[in-house]
Amino acid sequence: MNARGFDDSIDVEKEDLRKNPELYRIGRGEQGVLKVEPYKSEILPHWKFATPEDAERSSSTILGMFEDYLEQKDIVGADMARKFLQMGYTRSRRYAKYPGGKKYKGPVPEDKKGVSGAHGREQREPSPEDPEKAESARIFKKAWDTARTNETYRRLRKAHQEAYG
């Protein structure tokens, strides 16, 4: 388990966490968003933020999935949908500030591919904000805020954390 709570020792790409929710640890932020199955495969095809129209359709669909997961008392699915909404916001913000989403200069070192962080690379200067991507970010932020403040989500999240850490 890393310092932020997500258990990296579990192969979440091979485990079915719908059948084994006790294996899931709610980490901070977007941890595991592109790994935890079967949710990644269910949600990822709907995740788009290139235009405000894409963001509106995508965030609405994913928020609906979030609500469906909550109805089923599936906190893992709800948390993963919340993470995709958060990631829609953060990626849209990055693309709004950095053309092509490239925040750092130079390539990712071979031994650091797939690991987040600057890895010693210098950060690029932000460009003038792309208003289309900024609007996509605003749309995702609204949906993310709706999800993370949902009382049913907060109650199920707390119960899961108390039961499984």
Q: Which residue has the higher pLDDT, 164 or 66?
A: 66
- Specify the pLDDT at position 25: 87
Cα 74 to the center of its chain, rounded Å? 17
Closest to 55 (Cα-Cα) out of 144, 126, 124: 144
Distance CA 43, CA 47 (A): 7
- Specify the pLDDT at position 79: 97
- Specify the pLDDT at position 49: 95
Quick one: average pLDDT of 36-45?
95
Across the chain, mean pLDDT equals: 89
Look at residue 5 and tell me whether its pLDDT is greater than 90.
no
What would the pLDDT profile of 81-122 be if each residue is shown by its tens digit? 999 999 999 999 999 999 888 888 888 888 888 777 788 888
Instruction: Please tell me the pTM assigned to this model.
Output: 0.87
Phi, psi dihedral angles at 123 (to 5 degrees): -80, 140
